[in-house]
A and B are shown apart, each in its own frame.
Chain A
Amino acid sequence: MVWSPPLRRSFSHPWVLGVLGILTVFVAWWLVTSSGMVDKLFLPGPGAVWLAGSDQFQQGILVADAVASVRRVFLGFMISAGLALPIGIAMGTNRPICHFLEPLMALIRYMPAPAFIPLLIIYFGLEELPKVMLIFIGTFFFNTLMIMDAVKFVPSELVETALTLGGRGLPILTRVVAPFIAPQVLDTYRINMASAWNLVIVAELVAANEGLGKRISLAQRFLRTDEIFVGLIVIGLIGLLIDLGFRFLMRRACSWAN
Chain B
Amino acid sequence: MHLQVSQVSKSFGEGRDRKLVLQDISFELVSGQFMALVGSSGSGKSTVMRLIAGLERPSEGTIHLDGEQVRRPGSDRGMVFQKYSLYPWLTAAQNVAFGLSLQGRDKTEIRERTAYFLDVVGLADAARLLPQELSGGMQQRVAIARALATEPKVLLLDEPFGALDLQIRESMQEFLHDLWKTTGLTALLITHDIEEALLLAGTVHIMAPRPGRIVHSVDVRLDRSDLRHLRVSQPFLELREELAGRLRSLDGSLL
What is A's interface to B at a CB cutoff of 8 Å?
A: 155, 157-158, 160-167, 171, 175-176, 179-180, 182, 254, 256-257
Contacts and interface: CB of A to CB of B under 8 A. Distances in A.
Given A157-B81, A158-B84, A165 B132 contact: no
Contacts of A167: 99, 102
B100 to A, nearest CB: 8
A127 to B, nearest CB: 43
A167 B98 CA distance: 10
A165 B89 CA distance: 17
Given A155-B84, A256-B130, A171 B55 contact: no
A183 to B, nearest CB: 9
B88 A160 contact: no
A175 B88 CA distance: 12
B7 interface: no
A171 B102 contact: yes
Interface string B69-102: 0001111011101011101110000000011001
A256 B89 contact: yes
A175 B81 contact: no
Nearest to B78: A164
B99 A165 contact: yes
Nearest to A167: B102
17 contacts: A157-B81, A160-B55, A161-B81, A161-B143, A162-B98, A162-B102, A163-B72, A164-B54, A164-B75, A165-B78, A165-B147, A166-B75, A166-B99, A175-B102, A179-B89, A180-B89, A256-B132
B199 interface: no
B53 interface: yes
B102 A157 contact: no
A164 B79 contact: yes
Nearest to B50: A160
Contact of A157 (B54, B85, B89, B130): B85
B103 interface: yes
Contact of B88 (A163, A164, A166, A257): A257
B146 interface: yes
A154 to B, nearest CB: 11
A162 to B, nearest CB: 7
B33 to A, nearest CB: 20
- Residue from A164, A176, A180, A254 whose CB has the most chain B CB atoms within 10 Å: A164
